[in-house]
């Protein structure tokens, strides 16, 4: 697993976002994109990270002008966690939201 420091993404050989191949091994304190969540889920993600004492950064995805246009319901939040806490964070989020696969309704 390699890391693009520009996009703060984990990837294998080439960054899926910027196409960079100048990647390095992730360090424990590198911020890594945990996921992008809508507000209702972001609230739960935030509290579960706090409960587990995982440091995180949260950024709104849309600028103020876009928020005015589409309304706050379309706002999403990007969460970053240190690489050293990434695996634990992913499993905590999966407990919250289910596996990151195309969602299927329970019967």
Position 21 contacts Zn ion (CB under 5 A): no
Q: Which is nearer to Zn ion, 1 or 96 (CB)?
A: 1
Q: How many CB atoms lie within 10 A of CB 26?
A: 21
Angle between helices 86-97 and 39-51 (to 10 degrees): 130
Least distance from Zn ion to the Cβ atom of residue 75, Å: 24
24 binds Zn ion (CB under 5 A): no
4 CB contacts (<8 Å, ≥6 apart)? 11, 15, 17, 18, 20, 23
Q: Is 23 in the site for Zn ion (CB under 5 A)?
A: no
4 binds Zn ion (CB under 5 A): yes
Site for Zn ion contains 49 (CB under 5 A): no
């Amino acid at each position: 697993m390699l890391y693009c420091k520009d996009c703060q993404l984990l990837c294998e050989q080439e960054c899926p976002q910027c196409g960079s191949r100048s990647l390095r091994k992730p360090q424990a304190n590198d911020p890594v994109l945990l996921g992008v969540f809508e507000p209702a889920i972001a609230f739960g993600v935030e509290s579960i990270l706090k409960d587990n004492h995982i440091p995180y950064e949260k950024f709104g995805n849309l600028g103020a002008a876009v928020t005015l246009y589409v309304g706050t319901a379309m706002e999403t939040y990007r969460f970053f966690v240190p690489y050293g806490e990434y695996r634990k964070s992913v499993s905590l989020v999966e407990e919250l939201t289910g596996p990151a696969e195309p969602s299927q309704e329970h019967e």
